[in-house]
């Protein structure tokens, strides 16, 4: 492809050694991924500045470089100066792959909690309707049956546009993607053509990352505020801030509610049976859409997955499905068939006691999880909590306070915590400040705690205390990713008569356990 086509619609500050006839074979923003006749995009990261690697990229065959400031190079090369290379990467990636998101129906899902489960739920409903789907999120990226392990909630713009390109080649009908605040702030989704956008909940999270709660809101809500006129915005208007977006978007709004009477589509008669929800979806009036309508009426829903938070996720998926004119019968079937997402209130072990594994990301997630535990039959609750690394003192303070708030209601007398040393990368290592604030909150309370360095020590300690009809909660984000495996390894080490294949069955589809072999 000629570079002239790649820079179409790009705002350029200045160019050196430019020739519109330059042929380009690919794009890279890591110098080690540059090949002959590639463009190299120099991005200023939080730690490393890509401008420092321009000469390395040239040695590997770069034909042109995109920069925010011109660089003295060992060899003359085309340099294109732009105000922001992250924004430029998004534009040129979309152009290079032929603007692929315009050729497939794209559904963007944002929320503080539940993006992954909502995406998977919607994907299940689409599949039940006979649609061929792609999925992009924090657990996996999926192109029909091909699964790609994800390292970011939303991939960088280059990888994202390539995924859409591959989805077009596979002739998929829908692409469902999680849209994180980081992706919005770092321009990864700038050139994605969204047809439906959804915002289902909002609460305090990522404060250390975005600087303030208001900054987080402005970034998060931009998915709705910047939605194109032809799109549909599905909004849970229980939240006042989300409700106010109705008048701040050009998109056609379809609103719903779970805990208030505001929404035209409502969740009613909610009951939890053994932690799993049954409820009625009530459509209060006919809702006219650009390509059809949602008819007034009601229908029953039974979820296979447990938890109050699953209701919120399911409602978002249900309303999007109604917008898509998918039949109620198909929606009900898809929800009944959905078995859950790994580490989202996932039952890892159910025998004489229960082990539940949960992502436990922030206050709202924690409260939803612990609220669900109150409705479950159990003797005592034992919690193993992985202190959060790489999220700063604010999140760890709030999480510790949330645990403390549930002490009396759940009868929790102690917490087993871990720094997950050896189980996380450098990026997610718990800092001294993050550990200190966790201790500070609990030191002045009646909730006892012990902090272990490793995941193995913490989980082994917890399992040594478990008795019949107890409930063990493995709680935490990256640090607890392998907690389920550690727990089942411990159980098998103590009782080799267990059916090994059946014991490890819950882990077989986990991305974190790819390569796990269950021997007889």
Q: Range with the lowest mean pLDDT among 39-48, 164-173, 262-271, 359-368?
A: 359-368
Token pair in block for residue 96:
């290079």
Token pair in block for residue 248:
């701040």
d(CA 93, CA 49): 20
Question: What would the pLDDT profile of 294-310 be if each residue is shown by its tens digit?
Answer: 999 999 999 988 777 88
Q: Range with the lowest mean pLDDT among 95-99, 126-130, 507-511?
A: 507-511
The candidate with the shortest Cα–Cα distance to 310, out of 120, 110, 505, is 120
What percent of the chain shows pLDDT beyond 90? 72
The mean pLDDT of 346-351, rounded to a whole number, is 89
Question: For 213, phi and psi rounded to 5 degrees?
Answer: -65, -40
d(CA 249, CA 343): 34
The mean pLDDT of 337-345, rounded to a whole number, is 83
Residue 2: how many other CB atoms lie within 10 Å:
12
What percent of the chain shows pLDDT beyond 70? 95
pLDDT at 275: 73
Question: What would the pLDDT profile of 75-84 be if each residue is shown by its tens digit?
Answer: 999 999 999 9
Q: What are the b/e assignments for 367-401, b being 16+ CB within 10 Å?
A: bbbbbbbeeeebebbbbbbbbbbbbbbbbbebbbe
Identify the bridge partners of residue 417 per DSSP, sorted by sequence position: 385, 451
Question: What would the pLDDT profile of 8-59 be if each residue is shown by its tens digit?
Answer: 999 999 999 999 999 999 999 999 999 999 999 999 987 889 999 999 999 9
The candidate with the shortest Cα–Cα distance to 98, out of 171, 187, 191, 228, is 191
Q: What is the mean pLDDT of the chain?
A: 92
From residue 88, alpha-carbon distances to 53, 93, 120, 136 in Å are: 18, 8, 31, 22
Q: Range with the lowest mean pLDDT among 88-102, 196-210, 240-254, 385-399?
A: 196-210
The answer on pLDDT for 514 being more than 60 is no
Residue 96: how many other CB atoms lie within 10 Å:
22
The answer on pLDDT for 253 being more than 90 is yes
d(CA 263, CA 279): 16
d(CA 428, CA 448): 25
Question: For 43, phi and psi rounded to 5 degrees?
Answer: -105, 135
d(CA 189, CA 281): 32
pLDDT at 132: 97
The answer on pLDDT for 96 being more than 50 is yes
d(CA 112, CA 122): 17
The answer on pLDDT for 335 being more than 50 is yes
pLDDT at 153: 55
| Segment of 1-5, 44-48, 445-449, 514-518 carrying the highest mean pLDDT | 1-5
Whether the predicted model's global pTM rises above the 0.75 cut = yes
Instruction: Write the DSSP symbol of residue 196.
Output: E
Question: What would the pLDDT profile of 194-239 be if each residue is shown by its tens digit?
Answer: 999 999 999 865 555 666 888 999 999 999 999 999 999 999 999 9
Question: What would the pLDDT profile of 445-459 be if each residue is shown by its tens digit?
Answer: 989 999 999 999 999
pLDDT at 45: 83
> Distance from CA of residue 204 to its chain's centroid?
16
Q: Decide: 485 and 507 in contact? Cβ < 8 Å.
A: yes
From residue 243, alpha-carbon distances to 221, 272, 281 in Å are: 11, 27, 20
């Amino acid at each position: 492809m000629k570079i002239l086509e790649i820079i179409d619609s790009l705002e350029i500050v200045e160019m050196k050694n430019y020739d519109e006839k330059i042929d380009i074979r690919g794009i890279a923003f890591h110098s080690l991924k540059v090949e002959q006749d590639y463009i190299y995009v120099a991005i200023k990261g939080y730690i490393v500045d890509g401008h420092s690697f321009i000469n390395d990229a040239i040695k590997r065959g770069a034909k042109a470089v995109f920069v925010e400031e011109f660089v003295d190079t060992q060899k003359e090369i085309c340099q294109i100066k732009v105000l922001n290379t992250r924004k430029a990467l998004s534009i040129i990636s979309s152009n290079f792959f032929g603007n692929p998101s315009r050729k497939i129906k794209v559904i963007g899902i944002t929320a503080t909690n539940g993006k992954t489960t909502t995406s998977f739920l919607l994907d299940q409903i689409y599949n039940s309707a006979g649609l061929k789907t792609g999925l992009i999120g924090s657990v996996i990226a999926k192109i029909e049956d091909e699964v790609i392990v994800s390292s970011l909630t939303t991939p960088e713009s280059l990888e994202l546009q390539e995924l859409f390109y591959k989805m077009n080649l596979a002739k998929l009908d829908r692409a469902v993607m999680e849209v994180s605040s980081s992706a919005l702030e770092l321009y990864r989704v700038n050139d994605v053509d969204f047809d439906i956008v959804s915002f289902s909940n909002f609460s305090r999270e990522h404060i250390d990352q975005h600087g303030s709660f208001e900054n987080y809101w402005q970034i998060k809500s931009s998915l709705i505020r910047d939605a194109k006129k032809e799109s549909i915005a599905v909004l849970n208007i229980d939240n006042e801030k989300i409700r106010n977006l109705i008048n701040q978007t050009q998109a056609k709004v379809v609103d719903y509610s779970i805990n208030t009477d505001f929404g035209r589509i409502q969740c009613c008669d909610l009951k939890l049976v053994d932690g799993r929800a049954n409820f009625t979806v009530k459509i209060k009036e006919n809702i006219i859409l650009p390509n059809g309508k949602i008819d007034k009426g009601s229908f029953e829903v039974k979820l296979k997955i447990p938890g109050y938070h699953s209701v919120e996720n399911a409602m978002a998926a249900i309303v999007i499905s109604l917008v898509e004119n998918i039949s109620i019968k198909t929606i009900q079937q898809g929800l009944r068939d959905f078995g859950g997402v790994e580490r989202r209130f996932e039952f890892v072990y159910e025998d004489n006691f229960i082990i539940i594994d949960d992502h436990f990301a922030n206050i709202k997630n924690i409260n939803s999880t612990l609220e669900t535990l109150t409705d479950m039959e159990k003797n005592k609750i034992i919690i193993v909590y992985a202190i959060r690394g790489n999220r700063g003192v604010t999140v760890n303070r709030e999480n510790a306070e949330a645990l403390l708030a549930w002490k009396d209601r759940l009868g929790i007398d102690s917490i087993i915590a871990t720094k997950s040393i050896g189980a996380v990368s450098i990026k997610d290592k718990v800092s001294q400040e993050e550990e200190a604030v966790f201790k500070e909150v609990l030191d002045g309370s009646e909730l006892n705690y012990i902090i272990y360095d490793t995941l193995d020590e913490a989980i082994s300690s917890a399992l040594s205390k478990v008795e019949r009809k107890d409930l063990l909660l493995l709680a935490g984000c990256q640090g607890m990713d392998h907690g389920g495996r550690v727990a089942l390894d411990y159980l098998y080490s103590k009782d080799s008569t267990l059916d090994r294949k059946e014991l490890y069955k819950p882990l077989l589809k986990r991305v974190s356990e790819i390569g796990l072999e269950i021997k007889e």
